């Protein structure tokens, strides 16, 4: 997947770094990091990534609102968004899925599996037998 760029927006340094490593090492993706919603929106506009991995619990405006702002902007509307969430209740997951995000990946994710989950949800890789194909909700 050389040449594809992913924007990871998460306020936790450890999660940002592990996600970056996973995507770079396991899938050869280029990763851009942002630590807040505001920084993420700025980078989505300026960098035009191929996909965004977005944390739900962000301190400034939260992942859901960030997603809605991305959708509202014609420059970023086309960028597929995958939510990262530690909220595991089915009702939460259904709510997030109904917003129009491409997929949900549950925290804590396994570093070795994150890249595969992301590639699968983006349609950049075939879904392995041990991963759910539909809906695109990846439990931890």
List of residues contacting another protein (CB under 8 A): 12-15, 17-18, 21-22, 25-26, 57, 86, 88, 107-112, 140
Nearer to another protein, 94 or 110 (CB): 110
Return d(Cα 87, Cα 38) in angstroms, integer: 22
Q: State in angstroms the smallest separation of the CB of 139 from another protein.
A: 11
Q: State in angstroms the smallest separation of the CB of 86 from another protein.
A: 3
Q: How far is CA 115 from CA 106, 131, 138, in A?
A: 13, 12, 12
Q: State in angstroms the smallest separation of the CB of 52 from another protein.
A: 18
Q: State in angstroms the smallest separation of the CB of 58 from another protein.
A: 12
Nearer to another protein, 26 or 61 (CB): 26
In angstroms and rounded to an integer, the radius of gyration of the C-alpha atoms of the chain is 14
Q: State in angstroms the smallest separation of the CB of 73 from another protein.
A: 28
Nearest 5°: the CA angle 70, 21, 30 is: 50
DSSP 12-59: -HHHHHHHHHIIIIIH--EEEEESSHHHHHHHHHHH--SEEEEES--S
127 DSSP assignment: P
Nearer to another protein, 22 or 76 (CB): 22
Return d(Cα 98, Cα 27) in angstroms, integer: 28
Nearer to another protein, 5 or 87 (CB): 87
Nearer to another protein, 60 or 71 (CB): 60
């Amino acid at each position: 997947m050389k040449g594809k760029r992913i924007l990871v927006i998460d306020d936790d340094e450890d999660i940002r770094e592990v996600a970056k490593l996973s995507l770079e090492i396991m899938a050869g993706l280029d990763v851009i990091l942002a630590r807040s919603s505001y920084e993420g929106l700025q980078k989505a506009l300026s960098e035009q990534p191929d996909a965004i991995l977005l944390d739900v619990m962000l301190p400034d405006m939260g992942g859901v609102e960030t997603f809605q702002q991305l959708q509202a902007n014609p420059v970023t509307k086309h960028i597929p968004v995958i939510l990262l969430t530690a909220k595991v209740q089915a009702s939460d997951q259904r709510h997030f899925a109904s917003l129009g995000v491409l997929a949900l990946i549950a925290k804590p994710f396994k570093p070795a599996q994150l890249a595969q989950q992301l590639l699968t949800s983006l349609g950049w890789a075939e879904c392995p037998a041990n991963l759910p194909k539909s809906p695109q909700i990846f439990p931890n």
